[in-house]
Amino acid sequence: MYHPLFTNIAGKRILDLGFGNGKAALYFAQKNKVIAIEKNPRLVLRLQKHNNANISVIQEDIGHYCSKIQKEEEKFDLIMARNILPFLQNKKIIEGILHQVQNALKPGGYVFLTFFGRKDEWFGERENIVFFSKKEIEEMLAPTASQNSNEILEKIYEAEERGVKPTMHNTLKYWHIYNIILQRPFLR
Ligand X SMILES: C[S@@+](CC[C@H](N)C(=O)[O-])C[C@H]1O[C@@H](n2cnc3c(N)ncnc32)[C@H](O)[C@@H]1O
Of 13, 52, 54, 61, the residue at the interface with ligand X (CB under 6 A) is: 61
Q: Is 35 in the site for ligand X (CB under 6 A)?
A: no
- Judge whether 95 and 113 are in contact, CB under 8 Å: no
Query: How big is the chain, counted in residues?
Result: 188
Backbone phi, psi, residue 114, to 5°: -125, 135
Q: Is the dihedral of CA 39, 56, 6, 147 positive or negative?
A: positive
DSSP character at residue 88? S
Of 20, 115, 116, 184, the residue at the interface with ligand X (CB under 6 A) is: 20
DSSP character at residue 73? G
Of 5, 14, 62, 66, the residue at the interface with ligand X (CB under 6 A) is: 62
3-class DSSP assignment, residue 48: helix
Q: Is 117 in the site for ligand X (CB under 6 A)?
A: no
Q: Is 19 in the site for ligand X (CB under 6 A)?
A: yes
Of 75, 82, 176, 184, the residue at the interface with ligand X (CB under 6 A) is: 82
Nearer to ligand X, 133 or 167 (CB): 167
Of 37, 55, 101, 105, the residue at the interface with ligand X (CB under 6 A) is: 37
Q: How far is the CB of 50 from ligand X (least distance, A)?
A: 15
Backbone phi, psi, residue 167, to 5°: -85, 180
* Interface residues toward ligand X, by CB under 6 A: 18-21, 37-40, 43, 61-62, 82-84, 87, 168
